[in-house]
Structures are given as C-alpha cells and as structure tokens.
C-alpha cells in the first residue's frame, strides 16, 4: 500500500469512496473540488492506493491544517479493505506530517455510535476530550471530540521508521 498526497485527479475516487461510507462526512462535489483551490483553507488530503494499481484509491483522510492544531475532517477506507491496517497507516502518515509541520495536536469528531472508528482512534492513542450534543443530523447523534497529542507518537509506536 502507498500513502501519498491526493491530487485533483483523485477527487472522483474520493467521492465514490465517501458515498459508500454511511458514517463519513458527506461533502458536496464543490467542497472536494475546493480542496485544491488557491483560496481554500489550508488542508491536507492523503490517499491510500494499492501497490498493484497506484490509481486505485482504497482510502483517504482530509485534515484542516491550522498552525498548532490540526483537525481530521474525513476518513474513509473502502469497505472491502477495512480491518487490514489501511486506516492505521493513513492516520499514522497524517500524524507524522502534522509533527513535521510543527503541530502539537490533531482533533476530530466521531459519531458516538461509530464503534469501529472509535476503536481505531483509541488504538492510535486518541483520547476523548469532550462531547458535542446533537452534533450530527440524519440521524441526530452526539459527537465525541477526540484528540491526539503529537508528543505521544513514540508512546504509541507511530514515530517515523
């Protein structure tokens, strides 16, 4: 598996993956297109591709990159590739990138009912910092606010190889 920065050419594959994931943040096409616009807020989009076909996107993460505090806005792994380490590898790469850019923490919101995602984030060392009542719609649900402190990279075995 290869993790690389996304390109505008990856947007159709990213959108197709997102539409397959019930728990993903569902963005409009214009929001994905805006990822690469000059006036867009600072973001990073990484994609995971298969080694056999570098054009086949099997997962992605999108994060907003503020100076010290980054925020994961969306993470999706293809249904047939789940439980194979794709999510761990793509988040690890994002955390290392955040460290190299001087970030001190990475935040995210996750649906309280999304147990698979919560287990992934806990395994990686994210901890619950709060709750946002009725944050999600359709269905209405609380969000758990999770945070990873970059100083914990070594503790969770996520440092650069």
Out of 31, 109, 138, 161, which one is annotated catalytic? 109
**Catalytic site residue 136?**
no
Out of 121, 135, 159, 161, which one is annotated catalytic? 121
**Catalytic site residue 31?**
no
Phi and psi, residue 72, nearest 5°: -75, 120
Q: Edge-to-edge strands of the sheet including 57-65?
A: 2-5, 43-49, 57-65, 69-77, 105-111, 141-149, 127-136
Which residues, at least 6 apart from 53, have a Cβ–Cβ distance to it below 8 Å?
none
- Token digits for 1? 């598996």
Which residues are identified as catalytic? Answer: 109, 121
């Amino acid at each position: 598996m290869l993790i690389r920065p996304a390109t505008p050419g990856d947007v159709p594959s990213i959108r197709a993956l997102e539409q397959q994931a019930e728990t993903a943040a569902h963005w409009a096409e214009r929001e994905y297109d805006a990822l690469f616009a000059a006036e867009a807020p600072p973001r990073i989009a990484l994609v995971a591709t298969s080694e056999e076909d570098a054009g086949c996107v099997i997962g992605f993460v999108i994060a907003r990159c503020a100076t010290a505090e980054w925020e994961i806005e969306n993470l999706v792994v293809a249904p047939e590739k789940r439980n194979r380490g794709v999510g761990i590898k793509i988040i690890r790469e994002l955390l290392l990138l955040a460290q190299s850019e001087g970030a001190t923490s990475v935040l995210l919101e996750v649906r309280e009912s999304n147990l698979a995602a919560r287990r992934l984030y806990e395994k990686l060392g994210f901890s619950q910092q709060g709750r946002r009542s009725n944050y999600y719609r359709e269905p209405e649900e609380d969000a758990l606010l999770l945070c990873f402190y970059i100083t914990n990279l070594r503790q969770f075995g996520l440092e650069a190889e």
